[in-house]
Amino acid sequence: MSQQTKYTEDNIRSLDWKEHIRMRPGMYIGKLGDGSAADDGIYILVKEVLDNSIDEFVMGAGKTIEISIQGNKVTVRDYGRGIPLGKVVDVVSKMNTGGKYDTKAFKKSVGLNGVGTKAVNALSNYFRVESNRDGKSASAEFERGELTNKENLEESSRRKGTKVTFIPDETIFKNYKFRNEYVSKMLKNYVYLNPGLTIIFNGEKYFSENGLKDLLEDNNNLEDMLYPIIHLKGNDIEVAITHSKTQYSEEYHSFVNGQHTTQGGTHQSAFREAIVKTIREFFGKNFDASDIRKSIVSAIAIKVMEPVFESQTKTKLGSTEMGGDLPTVRTYINDFVKRKLDNYLHRNTEVADKLQKKILQAEKERKELSGIRKLARERAKKASLHNKKLRDCRIHLGDTKKEAHLQTTLFITEGDSASGSITKSRNVNTQAVFSLKGKPLNSYGLSKKIVYENEEFNLLQAALNIEDGLEDLRYNNIVIATDADVDGMHIRLLLITFFLQFFPELIKEGHLYILETPLFRVRDKKETIYCYSEEEKQNAIDKLRGKPEITRFKGLGEISPNEFVHFIGEDIRLDPVMLDKEKSIEEMLQFYMGKNTPDRQKFIIENLKVELDLVEE
C-alpha cells in the first residue's frame, strides 16, 4: 500500500495580494510575452495605469495626459483630481480598494474592481505613485509590491493630478522590449473615443476631433473606400461604417467604455446583426448576410453601466444589459442602427446606390465561387485526414473556447527538415505546424478564386479557418518560419503577399509574425551563446575569450530539435509584421510584387549589398 501524503493545517497556505498576482499573473493581465505582440503583458500594465487617467477625463477632470517610455521605464502623468492623499498607498496595494466601487463617482468606468494598478505594482521591480491635490502631495515607492518608501503629506505647488512611474519586472517579463507602434495604436484608440482629450507620448501629440470617423480614416486608404464614411452618434453609442473596394473580409473595431474589445462580444454581434437587418429592410430584399457584410470596414463604441467582460483583460464583452432604465445591448444597438442608418441612406441616395451595387456584386461572386468552394472544402477535409501538412495542437481537441485559442500559435515552415525540427521541439498543447511544399504562388493581382484552386493556399486557409473572416480564427499567432537566406526571404515575401492580398485584417489586427532564429552559435566547454546578429556574435566571442567554436546556421533544418526548443519556447523572438500607414496595401503590393518598374530596380540596386552580405555569411 503506497504511503499517502499528509494533509493537515500545515498544508493550508494563504497568499497575500502581491504573492498571488506574481504567482498567477495570467489571471490579472492575460499572457506575459516580451512585447512583440500588442496584447503582451507589458502593454496591459501601461493600459491599467492609463485607464485610471482616462476615467478622470471622462469624469470631467484633466484634459491632458503625458506618457513617457524611456527604455523599460514608463511614466504616466495626468491632471485629474489626484488620488485622495490619505489613500495613496491603499489604492495601489490593497485589494478591493478603489473609487470604481462608487458608481456615483465612476458611472461608466473602464477600470474594474480596483485591481489594475495593484497588478502593475506587484509585477514591477520599481513602482512609484504620486498624488497632488489641494496644494499638497503624497507619494510612495514599491519594489515588487513591497512598500520601500512613503513620503507623508507636504506642501506642493505642483498641478493637481496623479503621476505613476514603473519598470516591469524582468524576472517575469523576460527579454522584453516596448514597441512604440503598439503603444501609439493604443493611445490613438483612446483619443478617438474621447474627443477633447490630448495625450502626449514621448513629445508627440495625439488628438481626435471626429472620433471613430478618424479611426477608419487613419487605418484605411481613403481611395479604397467605396463611399464616404457613415458616422452616426447617439447617447452612449457611436458607429462608423464604410465598405472597401478591394478588401474581401469584414473588419470591425469595437469598444466598450473606452476599452478596445479585440474579441468582440455581445455589442459587436448585435452591430453585425443590426446592419444586415437595416439594409434588408431599406432595399426590401432578403440579401444574404455575407453579401451585405462582405468588405465592410466599421467601428462601434458603446457605454454600459458596470460592464461584465469575459476576462480580466477585458477583450470581450459579456454583458447583455446596458444598465439603468435602458433596454438590452442587442435591442439598444438594433434600434439605434435601424433609425440612424435608415435615415442616412434615405438622405444619401448616391451612397445607397453604391452599397446596393456592392451587395449585388458580392452575391454574384459568391454564387460563381460556390461550386469551387465546396470542392475546396472537401479537398481540405480529405487532405487533413491523409497527409501531414498540418500538425495541429492539442488545445483544439480538448478546449473549444475562444479564450483558450488566444494561447495558440501556427508555424508556417518550408520543407520537411525545418518542419520536422519545429514539430519535435514545439509545445504540442499550444503550437501547431503547417508545412509548405515548395515556393508559394505570387498571388498579387489574382482573384479570390485562386485561394480555392491552389492547393497550398486552400489548405492554409482551411487550417486557419478564415474563409469567412477572422471570427473563428483558430490560431492567435501566425508565425512565418523560413530560413535566413535569399530563398527563405522570398518565401516569406510571397506569404506576406498572400495575406495582404486576401486577408489584410490578419496583419492589421496583429496576428502575423516572423520567427527570428539565431544566425550563430558561439560556445566553449562551459557555455553556449546563441547570437541573432554579427554584433551579438562579437559580444559572445569577447565574453568567452580564447577561441570558442563558432557555428553559422544556414537553415532551420540544420538546428537540432534539442536546440530548437530554446528558440520557440519562453525565449522565442518574434518580429511582428506591421503595415506602413503612409502607404496603401495596393501601393506596397504593386511596388514589391507587381511587374518590374524603374523604381523597384533602383531600390534593388541600392539595397543589393545587404543581400550579398547575407549570402556571403
**Could you tell me the pTM of the whole model?**
0.81
| Rounded Cα gap, residues 617 and 608, in angstroms | 15
What are 87-133's pLDDT values in tens digits? Answer: 889 888 877 555 554 544 455 665 544 568 999 999 999 999 999 99
Per-chain mean pLDDT for the chain: 85
Helix ranges (H only) for 465-581 are 486-502, 504-508, 534-544, 561-564
Whether 407 and 31 have beta carbons less than 8 Å apart is answered as yes
HSE-CB for 145 with a 13 A CA cutoff: 19
What are 278-308's pLDDT values in tens digits? Answer: 999 999 999 999 999 999 999 999 998 888 8
The pLDDT assigned to 277 comes to 97
The pLDDT assigned to 581 comes to 61
Cell 463604441 maps to which residue? 301
- Amino acid in position 335: D
Residue 421: which pLDDT band, with cuts at 50, 70 and 90? confident
Residue 582: which pLDDT band, with cuts at 50, 70 and 90? low
Which grid coordinates are listed for 385? 485526414
Query: What domains does the chain contain, in order, with CATH numbers?
Result: 17-206 (3.30.565.10), 212-365 (3.30.230.10), 387-517+553-616 (3.40.50.670), 520-551 (no CATH)
Q: With a cut of 50, say whether residue 357 has pLDDT above it.
A: yes
CB neighbourhood size of 62 (10 A):
23
By three-state DSSP, how is residue 18 classified? helix
Give the pLDDT mean for 423-428: 91
Q: With a cut of 70, say whether residue 430 has pLDDT above it.
A: yes
By three-state DSSP, how is residue 132 classified? strand
Pairing type for strands 431-436 and 409-414 reads parallel
Sheet order of strands, 161-168 included? 146-155, 136-143, 124-133, 161-168, 73-78, 64-70, 198-201, 204-206
| Rounded Cα gap, residues 156 and 8, in angstroms | 54
